[in-house]
Amino acid sequence: MRLLSISSGKVAPLFGNHHPNYKSVASAIVKTPVSDLQTPTPIEITKLGVRGDEQADLSVHGGLEKAIYVYPVEHYAFWNTLLTRETKQVVDLQYGAFGENFTIEGLLETEVFVGDLMRIGELEFSVVKLREPCFKFNARMKYKGAAKAMLQSGFSGWYLRVNQTGLLSAGAAITLIPGAREISIAGQNQNLLGRRNQQDLWE
């Protein structure tokens, strides 16, 4: 298990026709790598996440409890195939495409539980919760069904709290330290999917 990429982004207008009330909305979902395996630049990780990274809506992203968003690289093939089919254009997503700060390999939602600790390099993080996609994710993917596909697939990724600050570089090894193990990220996703289906709350 290792960290493949660290990404950050700035708040900017996000355009799309994926919500009835918005033609343009502020978002920092567009993120690009600042440290990867080719250039493993040390990046400062603070209590609020990657130094220089921004979030447009702190009610749903960022802050101490959602300082870092993690996404497994194993899901990229699924999204490339789905989006290529649905948008009729060849899609080859790059690290950070889902708005994640950490792109990782070797660890999936079924294996990660709320309260687990993740040791990445010399730093330590706590697993907080899954990511709940919204219309901004649809706009970013240029596909109106993207948020629904994320929930139905279970490929949500998860948020981390930063327990130990410091410098971190791509390529760092990841160790998962089990917590109480009461509910996994995949279990949270199933609960959310059930509520969405019952209430028909697809944005």
Pick the residue with more confidence: 26 or 142? Answer: 142
Highest-pLDDT range among 3-7, 28-32, 195-199: 3-7
pLDDT (tens digit per residue) in 39-80: 999 999 999 999 998 887 777 678 899 999 999 999 999 999
How far apart, in Å, do the first and last CA atoms of the chain sit? 34
The angle at the Cα of 116, spanning 112 to 120, to the nearest 5 degrees, equals 90
41 vs 6, 36, 63, 84, 151, CA distance in Å?
A: 9, 7, 24, 32, 33
Span 147-200, pLDDT tens digits: 999 999 999 999 999 999 999 999 999 999 999 999 999 999 999 888 866 555
> From 3.90.105.20, 2.60.120.260, 3.90.1150.10, 2.40.33.20, which CATH number describes the 2-199 domain?
2.40.33.20
Which residue ranges make up each domain of the chain?
2-199
Q: List, for residues 96-133, the tens digit of each pLDDT value.
A: 999 999 999 999 999 999 999 999 999 999 999 999 98
Distance between CA atoms of residues 158 and 125, nearest Å? 12
Q: Is it the case that residue 38 has pLDDT exceeding 80?
A: yes
* Residues facing residue 104 across a β-bridge: 3, 72
Whole-model pTM: value is 0.92
